[in-house]
Structures are given as structure tokens and as C-alpha cells.
């Protein structure tokens, strides 16, 4: 593929690859800039507030360390992993790969490192943390004086740069550079089912492999296990959904945080916090929390349950293309439910003034974190190939193709 071209799936029209100019140099520049803003975000003060002459100032890492001191180590671990640790691992791994490509020879262990990128990407939530920070500020701005530290501004830049960095990675070009020898097998019928031709595409590097009964099903290029389609099997997704539904009840029945003001203690559930924002006239923030904490988890669970049901009973009520688009939407929106967890982490760390005013995490915080993680895992475990299992081979290729080879390839 040449610069400016893209590869599009002929069946669902999803963009698989978009070739950019100077991919390694572009990613390297973004990685260095993102790492600099991450270091600045950790080193400098993040937020501070004062009320009646008493205040507190926190750094970014205290949003997790305070939760550990309040007996919520699992919630603290989720915050630390999604905001700092996993992005740092991703950036250093990509830095290692780009340095090897720029110098003209891959550095040692490059293929093993490249395998980890796809697993880390869905769990990096710096952009969600920014929204959680804004919600926290609006929640307390009327009762205290807020000061934004330098770390707040560098973290906003870090979240934006991290998003641009992940979008700059061209997986197809990267793996072709790391291992140009292995190519897709010959005599492949385009548009026909891979399982019917004893083929399987690697979920990590994208290489199409020919399956053999004499060898273990592992990718020839990256050595990751292959997952050949053997029919509809959604037991793992259904099990994770069942666990998330069980955890959703205590997440909403128990308080997600407990506020103490002038000796008066008031527990607040997720729905109670939404109603409180509505009563105070903060409609935008109430809608954000209502959407992220209630509508998104419920909609995602219902959508995945419906997809698990419909793939076993093909119906004409919704086309396969519409179903796969619904799946992509549910896979994308699941991470935004972490907004409420991040709001709790920030407020608990920031407001620590004893009986005058303090906030502690409630029993529902851990349950709600479990709901978010379980629903994300359920979406990852769902096999979207089962959506197409009832589509006839003749219907799998688009009848019209782009006539401009510089802009579009159908592969």
C-alpha cells in the first residue's frame, strides 16, 4: 500500500488500515511528547482546594494511594493501571519499536513487544479521567475555592497526545516491517469464509494463516495462538455478563461514596448523586453521570445479550451489517463508565479535612468498578464472526468498488 491509501473490508466496509507517510517518525515524535507530558503530570501538583482557611493539595498519584489507605486497593489498582501504568508500558514499548525502525534494524524482542500493544490499548483511559476530573470540579466548585495545578494542564495534553499516538500506529505496516518474510497463503478465495478454506486470521498481527492438523494453531509471524471459527460459542461472554449483572445490583444499592460535612455523614448512591445534580440545576453534569454510570452499562449488557441470542437465531429484523455496527458501538462506549470511579478517586484524595468536610469511598465503588471491567471483558470475548455465520458467501463481497486506487483498496 502507498501513502494515502486505505484498506477496507469488502463485507462490512470497516477501515482496516490507513497508510500514513513517515509512520515510524510520526509515532516516535508523538511517543516522546506524550512521555514528557506524563512525567510532568506525575511530578507537579494536580489540584488544590480551600474552604474556611483549610485546604488540601494533591498530586496525580494520590488519587490511587488515598484509596489504598481507605481499604479500596482493587479500585486504586484499576485507577493506577488505566491512567498511568498501562499507558506508560504502551508508550515505552512503542518507543522501543520506533527507535529500531528509525535506525534501520529492529531492536531485540521487538516482535514480542509488538504483541502486547493490542492487548493494552482498550484499557488506557486517560481521556476518561479528564472527564472525571471536570465532573469532580463542577461538583465542588460551589462550596470551595479550586486551584488547577500545572499537572492538570499537562495531563490534559497527555490525554490528547496519547489518543493521537494510538491512532498513529499502523499495525499492518509495523508487522510487515518486523517480519516481511511471512505472507498470506496463495490460492485464497477472496470474500469467501476463512473457516471453509481452512484459514484463520491472526487477531494480533493480522496475518492470514493456513490451518494444519499436524501443527498447533499459532501464527507464523507473531507466534500468537490462532482462534479459528468453529461455530457460535458465546459461553464466556454470557458468563461475564451474568457476573456483571450480579455486581450491578450492589453497585447501585450501596453508596458509591460517603460525604461528611460539619459532622453530618451522608451516603450517596449513583442514582442519588444524579438526582442531587438535577436538584441543584446542574443538568449537563447530571446527564453525563446518568449516561456513563447507568445508561451505558445497562445498554451494553442488553446489547450483548441480544447479540448472543440473535446469532443463534438469524432474523431479518436487523441486517448483519447493522449488528456488527451495534457491536462496535458497545465495545467503544464501555470504557466511559469509568467516569464515576474516577470522580470518586479524585474527590476522596482531594477532600480530606476530617469532620469539617471529607469524602470516603462507599461499598458500591468496588462493585461498580467490577461491572465496568466485566462488561469490557464480555465485549472482548464476544466473537463478531458469529454475526456473519448465516451470510451466504455470494453476499459477502460488495458489488461496487472505489475506482480510485490511490484512496481505497478492498482486501
pTM for the predicted model, two decimal places:
0.86
Which part of the chain has CATH 1.20.140? 22-63+72-182, 233-389
C-alpha cell at 313: 437465531
Give me the DSSP letters along 345-399.
Answer: HHHHHH-EETTTEEEEE-THHHHHHHHHHHHHHHHHHS-GGGGGTTS-GGGSS-S
Q: Residue 253 carries which DSSP code?
A: H
CATH node for 233-389: 1.20.140
Report the DSSP pairing between strands 6-8 and 409-410.
Answer: parallel
pLDDT digits (tens, 9 = 90+) for 203-252: 888 888 888 766 678 888 888 888 888 777 889 999 999 999 999 999 98
- Computed over every residue of the chain, the mean pLDDT equals 84
Give me the DSSP letters along 55-71.
Answer: EEEEETTHHHHHHHHTT
pLDDT digits (tens, 9 = 90+) for 318-328: 677 888 888 88
Can you say whether the dihedral through the CA atoms of 361, 301, 130, 159 is positive or negative? positive
Share of the chain above pLDDT 70, in %: 90
Give the per-residue pLDDT at 86: 95
Give the per-residue pLDDT at 88: 96
pLDDT digits (tens, 9 = 90+) for 249-267: 999 899 988 887 766 778 8
Q: Enumerate the β-bridge partners of residue 47.
A: 58, 148
Confidence of residue 407 (pLDDT cuts 50, 70, 90): very low
Give the per-residue pLDDT at 357: 74
Check whether 393 has a pLDDT greater than 50.
Answer: no
Check whether 160 has a pLDDT greater than 90.
Answer: yes
Check whether 48 has a pLDDT greater than 90.
Answer: no
Check whether 157 has a pLDDT greater than 50.
Answer: yes
pLDDT digits (tens, 9 = 90+) for 336-391: 889 889 998 998 888 877 666 788 888 899 999 999 999 999 999 998 888 877 54
C-alpha cell at 224: 500468537
Task: Classify domain 22-63+72-182 at the CATH topology level.
Answer: Butyryl-CoA Dehydrogenase, subunit A; domain 3 (1.20.140)
pLDDT digits (tens, 9 = 90+) for 129-140: 999 999 888 877
Distance from the Cα of residue 39 to its chain's centroid: 22
Stretch 271-288: mean pLDDT, rounded? Answer: 78
Q: Where are the alpha helices (DSSP H) in 45-170?
A: 62-69, 73-80, 86-102, 110-120, 126-140, 150-168
Check whether 405 has a pLDDT greater than 50.
Answer: no
Check whether 126 has a pLDDT greater than 90.
Answer: yes
Give the per-residue pLDDT at 226: 87
Q: Where are the alpha helices (DSSP H) in 214-360?
A: 235-253, 270-279, 283-290, 296-310, 320-333, 339-350
Task: List CB contacts of 215: < 8 A, sequence separation 6 or more.
Answer: none
Give the per-residue pLDDT at 106: 86
Alpha carbon distance 383, 57 (integer Å): 46
Give the per-residue pLDDT at 290: 85
Report the DSSP pairing between strands 352-353 and 208-210.
Answer: unpaired
List the single range of 228-232, 303-307, 355-359, 395-399 with lowest mean pLDDT.
Answer: 395-399
CA distances from 312 to 66, 307, 388 (A): 47, 9, 11
C-alpha cell at 365: 465503588
Check whether 123 has a pLDDT greater than 60.
Answer: yes
Confidence of residue 403 (pLDDT cuts 50, 70, 90): very low
Stretch 3-30: mean pLDDT, rounded? Answer: 85
Amino acid at each position: 500500500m502507498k501513502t494515502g491509501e486505505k484498506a477496507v473490508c469488502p463485507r462490512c466496509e470497516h477501515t482496516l488500515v490507513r497508510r500514513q507517510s513517515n509512520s515510524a517518525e510520526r509515532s516516535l515524535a508523538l511517543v516522546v511528547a506524550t512521555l514528557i507530558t506524563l512525567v510532568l503530570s506525575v511530578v507537579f501538583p494536580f489540584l488544590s482546594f480551600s474552604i474556611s482557611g483549610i485546604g488540601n493539595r494533591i498530586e496525580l498519584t494520590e488519587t490511587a494511594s488515598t484509596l489504598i489507605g481507605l481499604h479500596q486497593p482493587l479500585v486504586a489498582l484499576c485507577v493506577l493501571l488505566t491512567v498511568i501504568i498501562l499507558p506508560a508500558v504502551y508508550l515505552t514499548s512503542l518507543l522501543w519499536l520506533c527507535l529500531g525502525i528509525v535506525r534501520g534494524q529492529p531492536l531485540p524482542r521487538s516482535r514480542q513487544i509488538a504483541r502486547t500493544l493490542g492487548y493494552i490499548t482498550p484499557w488506557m483511559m486517560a481521556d476518561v479521567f479528564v472527564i472525571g476530573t471536570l465532573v469532580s470540579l463542577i461538583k465542588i466548585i460551589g462550596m470551595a475555592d479550586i486551584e488547577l495545578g500545572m499537572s492538570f494542564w499537562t495531563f490534559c495534553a497527555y490525554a490528547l497526545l496519547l489518543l493521537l499516538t494510538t491512532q498513529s500506529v499502523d499495525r499492518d505496516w509495523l508487522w510487515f516491517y518486523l517480519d516481511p518474510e511471512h505472507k498470506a497463503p496463495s490460492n485464497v478465495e477472496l470474500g469467501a469464509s476463512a473457516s471453509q478454506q481452512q484459514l484463520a486470521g491472526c487477531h494480533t498481527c493480522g496475518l492470514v494463516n493456513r490451518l494444519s492438523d499436524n501443527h498447533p494453531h499459532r501464527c507464523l509471524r507473531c507466534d500468537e495462538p490462532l482462534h479459528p471459527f468453529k461455530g457460535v460459542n458465546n459461553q464466556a461472554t454470557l458468563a461475564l455478563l451474568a457476573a456483571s449483572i450480579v455486581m450491578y445490583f450492589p453497585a447501585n444499592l450501596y453508596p458509591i461514596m460517603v460525604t461528611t460535612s460539619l459532622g453530618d455523614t451522608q451516603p450517596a448512591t449513583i442514582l442519588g448523586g444524579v438526582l442531587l445534580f438535577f436538584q441543584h440545576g446542574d443538568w449537563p453534569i447530571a446527564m453525563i453521570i446518568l449516561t456513563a454510570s447507568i445508561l451505558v452499562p445497562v445498554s451494553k449488557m442488553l446489547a450483548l445479550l441480544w447479540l448472543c441470542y440473535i446469532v443463534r437465531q438469524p432474523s431479518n429484523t436487523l441486517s448483519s451489517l447493522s449488528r456488527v455496527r451495534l457491536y462496535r458501538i458497545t465495545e467503544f462506549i464501555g470504557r466511559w463508565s469509568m467516569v464515576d470511579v474516577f470522580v470518586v478517586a479524585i474527590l476522596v484524595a482531594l477532600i480530606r479535612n476530617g469532620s469539617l468536610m471529607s469524602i470516603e469511598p462507599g461499598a458500591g465503588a468496588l462493585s461498580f468498578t467490577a461491572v465496568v471491567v466485566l462488561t469490557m471483558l464480555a465485549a472482548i470475548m464476544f466473537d463478531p464472526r458469529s454475526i456473519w455465520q448465516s451470510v451466504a458467501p455470494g453476499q459477502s463481497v460488495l458489488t461496487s468498488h472505489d475506482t480510485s486506487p490511490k484512496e481505497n483498496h478492498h482486501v
